[in-house]
Amino acid sequence: MNFPNKENGLIPTQSQEMLINLLADPNVTTKLYDSAKRMMWSVVQYNEMKMLYSCALKEIQTKFEVLSTEFSLRNNRNPISSISTRLKSTDSILDKLERNGWPITLESMEENLADIAGIRVICPYIDDIYTIADALLRQDDVTLIRRKDYIENPKANGYRSLHLIISVPVFLSETKKNMKVEVQIRTIAMDFWASLEHQMKYKKDIPEAAAIMEELLRCAEIIHDTDVRMLRIREHIESVADAPTEEDLLLERIGRLDLSLK
Ligand code: GTP
Ligand code: MG
């Protein structure tokens, strides 16, 4: 677009004229420059904050990986099937702040949003969820802020998972900062259900949505029943199996000597 000026002979509109006059005022340009600088500093600080959340996620991911390594080396079964992490996008952060009427500031983000850093741990059985949660919460640099047990108290739609909001220190070269992380722990079956239900929530205009929600609730009950039955079968197998002798245990551990330790 050609902005009107003396050289190109274009005639400015009234608002363009006003803008030209404003920009000719050094007070205005200084103020504009200062506010642009402030805005850029906010962007830089926001990025630093996201870096801290990303580091907090690494800390917690490592804690779960350490537990997983220990379990695979010491036991014949690992209560952790998989671990995934996600950092909330800028879009979703702004959207959640706006939706809840919270101020769009870094302080408000830190205060109000507990799910900027999210980690999900998937376990084979229900009891593994609590084993893993306890093992994490016993660590002395992890502080529990909030615990929501949607397995004991499932949501009305059938959603089940254990949610922990924790705080973990991130050590930088000169400072230490406690950062919040949302931990979701669920079984493979609960995750299977939650993924489909999540898709349903984000797809608009699905015909017969109400009937599908009802069917999903039924599936959640069946899945929970299966989770409980699978656990009982495992416990039964464990209880009837002969208690291993010391030699058995030693041989088993020797069999795992080659487990890849990186
Ligand atoms: P959000 O504002 O959604 O973060 O909810 P909240 O702060 O009240 O916490 P809540 O523990 O209810 O949910 C946190 C997260 O758990 C969500 O962002 C989802 O990842 C997951 N979640 C909670 N409820 C459901 C559900 O009904 N279905 C699915 N698929 N996921 C859920
Ligand atoms: Mg959330």
Q: What digits encode the pLDDT tens for the residues 124-133?
A: 999 999 999 9
76 DSSP assignment: S
Task: Give the mutation target among 122, 163, 190 for probing the ligand 1 site: most ligand atoms within 8 A of CB.
Answer: 163
Q: Is the distance from the beta carbon of residue 164 to the nearest atom of ligand 1 less than 6 Å?
A: no
Separation CA 48–CA 39 (nearest Å): 14
pLDDT tier at 262 (50, 70, 90 boundaries)?
A: low
Distance CA 167, CA 143 (A): 5
Q: Say how many Å lie between the CA of residue 115 and the centre of ligand 2.
A: 5
Ligand nearest to the CA of 217: 1
State both tokens at 114: 């507990």
| Mean pLDDT confidence for 89-101 | 97
Q: Tell me the whole-structure pTM to 2 decimals.
A: 0.87
Helices (H), the chain: 14-24, 26-74, 90-99, 106-112, 126-137, 188-202, 209-240, 246-255
pLDDT number for residue 258: 72
Edge-to-edge order in the sheet of strand 82-87: 82-87, 117-123, 176-187, 162-171, 143-149
More confident residue, 152 or 238: 152
3-state secondary structure of 126: helix
Best substitution site from 145, 152, 198, 219 to test ligand 1's pocket, by max atoms within 8 Å of Cβ?
A: 198
d(CA 200, CA 22): 52
**Percent of the chain beyond pLDDT 90?**
72
Asked if residue 247 has pLDDT above 90, the reply is no
Task: Determine the pLDDT at residue 1.
Answer: 60
Taking the C-alpha atoms of residue 218 and residue 221, their distance in angstroms, rounded to an integer, is 5
